[in-house]
Amino acid sequence: WRRIRWVSRHFQRKPYIVDKDCIRCGICVEACPVEGKALKLNRPAAPVYDYKKCIACFCCQEMCPQKAIHVK
């Protein structure tokens, strides 16, 4: 079971924010369905992910008006 968690944590697709494209509107944070939010506003910088909380639903990516959130 530990190995499965390790593999999924290291190989799961994750969203990330392209700083130069982000306008810091906070829509991604509002769109996050996770209680306690998987990303936090970090003004004046782009929001920051807490990947331990992220469920990889990609709601943040879908809602970003600037298309500044990509997946790796």
Which long-range CB contacts under 8 A does 17-21 form with residues at least 24 apart? 17/46, 17/47, 17/49, 17/68, 17/69, 18/68, 18/69, 18/70, 19/45, 19/46, 21/66, 21/67, 21/68
The SS3 of residue 31 is: helix
Q: Where are the domains of the chain?
A: 13-71
Q: How much is the pTM?
A: 0.82
pLDDT at residue 12, rounded to an integer: 80
pLDDT at residue 36, rounded to an integer: 95
Domain at 13-71: CATH code: 3.30.70.20
What are the tens digits of pLDDT across the range 3-47? Answer: 666 556 567 899 999 999 999 999 999 999 999 999 999 889 999
